[in-house]
């Protein structure tokens, strides 16, 4: 019986030590990932980032959010919009007022429809769904960093889905949204 108790205690201590080392290893890979990203070595950043993804729970929340933001940018640069959307959404979930991620999400949601002239856009259920996903993000970005191009796009999207009320109430929504804007992620801490 005494041997079983010692064995269980040994396993628990070893498991705890292994977890700490694994968390440290994940953080070390994050540091390497950051360096590759900042040096514009996107191939290396992609490789390192994909190694980190299964273990992001071992990163502290601020670091995890920063990692997701950089990973979204890596995927966006690699033309993997679906993956970029996943990670920008995680950034927005963690920091809802970080309008930079909102802008990226808004444009990614409408990426395949935005290049067409308004008279060539086929307004169907898929189009309306994409527009309705994009609009809140575009509006947050517009409220925090006004831009004529984004404003015109928002109005065009409302016109295309025949939502006159959305256009009419836009100034009030933008005014409310601009009260809480962040252009920098909270600094990651280890």
User: What is the residue range of 190's domain?
Assistant: 99-190
Residues 35, 6: Cα–Cα separation, whole Å: 43
Q: How many domains does one find in the chain?
A: 1
pLDDT at 94: 94
- Per the domain annotation, does 161 fall within a domain? yes
- Per the domain annotation, does 73 fall within a domain? no
Q: Could you tell me if 49 and 33 are in contact, meaning their C-beta atoms sit under 8 angstroms apart?
A: yes
pLDDT at 4: 54
Beta-bridge partner residues of 98: 182
Instruction: Tokens for 56, please give them.
Output: 């992001």
pLDDT at 111: 87
Q: What is the DSSP letter of 55?
A: G
Q: Which regions of the chain are under pLDDT 50?
A: 7, 10, 12, 14-20
Q: Is 182 helix (H, G, I), strand (E, B) or coil?
A: strand
- Per the domain annotation, does 19 fall within a domain? no
pLDDT at 147: 94
pLDDT at 122: 75
pLDDT at 6: 52
Residues 110, 112: Cα–Cα separation, whole Å: 6
């Amino acid at each position: 019986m005494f041997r079983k108790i010692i064995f269980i205690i040994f396993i628990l201590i070893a498991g705890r030590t292994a977890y700490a080392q694994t968390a440290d290893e994940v953080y070390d890979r994050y540091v390497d990932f950051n360096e590759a990203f900042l040096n514009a070595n996107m191939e290396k950043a992609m490789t390192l980032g994909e190694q980190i993804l299964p273990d992001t729970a071992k990163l502290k929340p601020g670091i995890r959010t920063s990692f997701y933001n950089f990973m979204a940018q890596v995927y966006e640069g690699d033309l993997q919009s679906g993956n970029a959307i996943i990670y920008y959404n995680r950034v927005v979930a963690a920091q809802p007022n970080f309008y930079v991620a909102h802008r990226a999400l808004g444009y990614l949601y409408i990426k395949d429809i935005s290049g067409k002239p308004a008279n060539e856009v086929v307004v169907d259920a898929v189009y309306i769904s994409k527009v309705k996903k994009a609009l809140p993000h575009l509006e947050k970005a517009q409220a925090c960093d006004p831009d004529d191009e984004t404003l015109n796009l928002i109005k065009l999207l409302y016109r295309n889905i025949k939502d006159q009320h959305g256009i009419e109430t836009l100034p009030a929504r933008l005014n409310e949204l601009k009260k809480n804007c962040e252009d920098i992620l909270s600094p990651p801490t280890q």
